[in-house]
Structure 1
Amino acid sequence: MGSFLTEIKQKRTIEELVEYIKSVYENDTSSYLPALISEGSFIGTEESDFYLKVVLKHKALDINKTWLKGNLQFYLNQDEDIYNSLDLYKIFVHNLIVYRNFKETSVYEINPNLTSNENYSELGVKDLKYVDAIYISGMQQNEVQNVIQYEKKGSDEYLKVSKKFLADYVVHEDSEWTTVYELVIEFEYRNKTNTFEQLDYQNNESAFIDVSTSSGDIMILGSIKVPFIKENRKERAIKVIDLNNHILRNHNPKNYNGDTDEGFVVFSKEAYEALMESYYFYGIEIIDRQDITKSILVDYFPDKIVFFEAEYNKLPDKIKDKIDIYNQKVLYDLNDIISKAMFEMQLNASWGWEKYLEPDKLLASLFRERYFNISTDRNLSFTYPNDLVEFGEFINMIEEISKIRLDRFNQQSAEVIALTKIRDKAYIDELTNASIINLYLKYCYAVNKELREE
């Protein structure tokens, strides 16, 4: 016997039954929402069954009946006289899961009303049971998640739907968008033996229950409004510099807008390598390599990388897992956290913040504006070179893309001579890391100045 049937058979009042079904959703902080449950067999040895499905109801509609939508239905309204027969429940209530015809069989799929989202992508039909699809999270860049989880145990079926996917449509706390649909759980419970001691229930605006009995059999139909509880984002084992008082505090995984509780997350330079696997560095942003329309604000220096906590929270967990260790290695200087440009843009709301960018960030912004496609094709990122080999490769790419070659500059200058040797891999004497970075910044300044004067 399925776990839901087992629990329900222990209930003695309809109130207990309703509260149990509510609790399944009120206490669920996982990543997936139970969307369809089918357990037991009314005509068979179990002599009982339980079926549950999820519908999305417009918040302006009351629940004044049960089963607001027929099971797995998805259709166009066929009423000829819309003024006399207009049924708002047909128009503004939608099954989350519907049927699709596929190779002479019916398979489960997400209601097509919900699949126009650009982050939703179908992969095909899985095991002739359901439409397999993925969702690329808008909050966590490049985080791919299966939309549906399907499980079959004997004759019982369970189908769950990604909460990240649903969050774009359902009313909930901290919603990024204006949403108007609420979750309603619709269920049917049948049993050959009535085990309930009390069958009365006072229907209300959040639940409508219909009970019928016949010759000892009982059938309960219900529609219950439940909250949408987002998945519980775990607190990361990092320290955050609080923006207001500059003291270290624990991570806040719910901070996605920074309006009331902002802070800075600092990483040592070792985090560059992990971030560069998934992002390009341009200006004061990192840009998703898989989707260049997505970016995250970041401040980076030769010895550290700094995120606003709200921006850090947008990183995929797989990236956080790689870089969090480098947060623990930082020697915090609470008086010198972000650059002047970042301060002017984000905290001072200055229109002229770009004039405070360092030379490499200025050149990166120009390349993003003029040569972004060709630059990304050549895997160009504006990060501080670790050695002369990386620096030489950077100079070659800049020359190739911009056509600004070193022979444009004063050939008698010691710095131009050094840059030429680095580009041509002929530099013999090693430079200190500080000297390489200083030369890198001067090179970026000169190229930027030359380009802007053209």
Structure 2
Amino acid sequence: MKYLDQIKRTSTISELSQEIASIFKSFEDDDYIPAIIEEGNYTADQGEDFYLKLVLKHQSVEIDGTWLKNNLEFHLEEPTNYDNTMNNGAFIHNVITNRKYKSRNLYQLNPLLTSEEINEYEYTNSNHVSAFYNDEYSNVQGLPVLKSTNYQKLLILKKIFNDYINDPKSNIYPKFELVAEFEYRTHNGHIKKTKSDIYRSSDAYIKIDRGESSVSILGSIKVPLYKGNSKRNSRNIQVLDLKDLKPRMHNSSHYNGDTIEGFICFKPEVLNILKEYYYFYDLQMIDKSNIENSYLVDVLGDKIVFWEAEYNKLPTLVKGKIDPFNFVPEDKKGIISEAMSSMQLEVDWNWDKKLSPEYLLANLIRERAFNRAIDISLTFIEPKHKDDLKDFILKIEQLTGIKLERFNTSADDVKRLLSIRQGGTLEEPVDLKLLYQKYCYAIQMEYKNEPNK
């Protein structure tokens, strides 16, 4: 009974109001705030309980009463009454409403507050709709809109309100504000009697109803939306500034490749993580869940390099997995490949001519047959084992129709490739990377002369 215990320590309505406001202050650095609080057990003879819900109220509407909206109510109202006076109810909305689903009542975000960033998934046995908020570049599931814990009836993601709550003095609209509506019933006499049963302030309206042995308090209190520290989005990684290649801290607000650009280096092991989410083609990796999303990336022998703006577009989930592999190379010469430098820094239209053999082939396939390529999960990552190269050869042959038998089968490299394709053993150690690159070069030379099917 966390909140009930706090309320029982108050003795005046002003203190009670401050205590309820402090509930939301305590979530200042959290991504969520309470949407519904439900504690205690009250009967006519004994006990106490506390219930709280959130509403969104337009700033132009004054709080001149309490419980501005009935609990979980959702319907559209006319902005004017029959006598042409303003109907305040049309500008006040419950944050949480109900939805019927297979004879169950589920909590849901008010449909008026939904946006394109919110996606719903198959409902579970939870007490609320399974909706997730994603405002990232990538098509990931995102954060739950609503969630419950052992101590919280229902929490709501703060980001939901980003498009609705704006500074009253700014020229950004719309201008709503959060109001916590609550009911507190008790047989405890800790709240002192006052001359009036109504408590008013610029931010609250509270009504007290006293019985012989009980007190019932209804109230509506404005509560601020604490958006927390904007620096929280910065990652604990080192960035090599483009100007001087000196390490600096990460700039999380950088997305457009402007003059503050830099490089973020990772150890080669991150490929094992990234390949789960992305296809690799020439100088980019492409999101498996949404091929419209791509990221510039330089895969080098001793490191994987992102431009800072490209790294910032990665999903938080992926960043969290790869950040531990961030490092600053001792040798900062050749921090990116010649092809990447040519494309991004020199703006050379012929940058692709400087690609390595495997990426020349990747570039050609991406232009000609990308959809068919990803249908068979073809990706361009240097093989570490014979089985990796075998899988790659089989996919290339399936895609292009160019079999190894087209080449000089008496050549040693072709013999090695044939043996690998057939799952055989090699009589001597082989440089798989070099063999992979030679194979890609040969396929690329043949494929570019094939009719574009």
Question: What interval of TM-score do these two structures reach, taking the shorter chain for normalisation?
Answer: 0.7 to 0.9
Report the alpha carbon displacement of residue 220 of structure 1 after superposing the two structures with TM. Answer: 4.4
TM-score (norm 1): 0.76
> Is structure 2 residue 157 aligned with structure 1 residue 159?
no
Q: Equivalent residue for 2:301? A: 302
What is the distance in 1 between the residues matched to 2:268 and 2:284?
16
Map 1:181-200 onto structure 2 (within 5 A): 182-192=176-186, 193=189, 195=191
Q: Equivalent residue for 1:52? A: 52
Q: Equivalent residue for 2:109? A: 110
Q: Equivalent residue for 2:376? A: 378
Q: Equivalent residue for 2:221? A: 223
Root-mean-square deviation over aligned CA pairs? 4.3
SS at match of 1:210: strand
Q: Equivalent residue for 1:124? A: 123
Map 1:384-403 onto structure 2 (within 5 A): 384-403=382-401
> Across the two proteins, how many residue pairs are aligned to each other?
439
Q: Equivalent residue for 2:206? A: 210
Greater Cα offset, 313-322 or 241-250: 313-322
Report the alpha carbon displacement of residue 283 of structure 1 after superposing the two structures with TM. Answer: 3.2
Q: Say whether the 8 Å CA contact 1:56–1:182 is kept in structure 2.
A: yes
Q: What amino acid is the match of 1:184?
A: L
Q: Say whether the 8 Å CA contact 1:282–1:382 is kept in structure 2.
A: yes
What is the distance in 1 between the residues matched to 2:76 and 2:209?
34
What is the distance in 2 between the residues matched to 1:42 and 1:376?
61
What is the distance in 1 between the residues matched to 2:260 and 2:8?
46
What is the distance in 2 between the residues matched to 1:218 and 1:152?
27
Identity of aligned residues (%): 33
Q: Equivalent residue for 1:36? A: 36
Q: What amino acid is the match of 2:204?
A: F
Map 1:204-353 onto structure 2 (within 5 A): 204=202, 207-212=203-208, 214=210, 217=215, 219-229=217-227, 233=232, 238-251=237-250, 262-316=261-315, 319-328=318-327, 331-343=329-341
Q: Equivalent residue for 1:77? A: 77
Give the direction of change, closer, same or farther, for the CA distance of 1:131–1:141 in structure 2 (3 Å limit). closer
Q: Say whether the 8 Å CA contact 1:268–1:327 is kept in structure 2.
A: yes
Per-residue displacement from partner, 1:115-141 (whole Å, max 9, x unpaired)? 4637512322636x3334445663565
Where structure 1 has 5 or more consecutive residues not aligned to the other structure, the ranges are: none
What is the distance in 1 between the residues matched to 2:283 and 2:14?
56
Give the direction of change, closer, same or farther, for the CA distance of 1:22–1:80 in structure 2 (3 Å limit). closer
What is the distance in 2 between the residues matched to 1:201 and 1:262?
55
Q: Say whether the 8 Å CA contact 1:56–1:181 is kept in structure 2.
A: no
Q: Equivalent residue for 1:430? A: 429
Report the alpha carbon displacement of residue 218 of structure 1 after superposing the two structures with TM. Answer: 5.8
Structure of higher CA gyration radius: 2
Give the direction of change, closer, same or farther, for the CA distance of 1:374–1:75 in structure 2 (3 Å limit). same
Give the direction of change, closer, same or farther, for the CA distance of 1:414–1:152 in structure 2 (3 Å limit). closer
Where structure 2 has 5 or more consecutive residues not aligned to the other structure, the ranges are: none
Q: Equivalent residue for 1:363? A: 361
Per-residue displacement from partner, 1:130-156 (whole Å, max 9, x unpaired)? 334445663565355443223577xxx
Report the alpha carbon displacement of residue 38 of structure 1 after superposing the two structures with TM. Answer: 1.9
Q: Equivalent residue for 1:101? A: 100
Report the alpha carbon displacement of residue 195 of structure 1 after superposing the two structures with TM. Answer: 2.3
TM-score (norm 2): 0.76
SS at match of 1:399: helix
Q: Say whether the 8 Å CA contact 2:40–2:50 is kept in structure 1.
A: yes
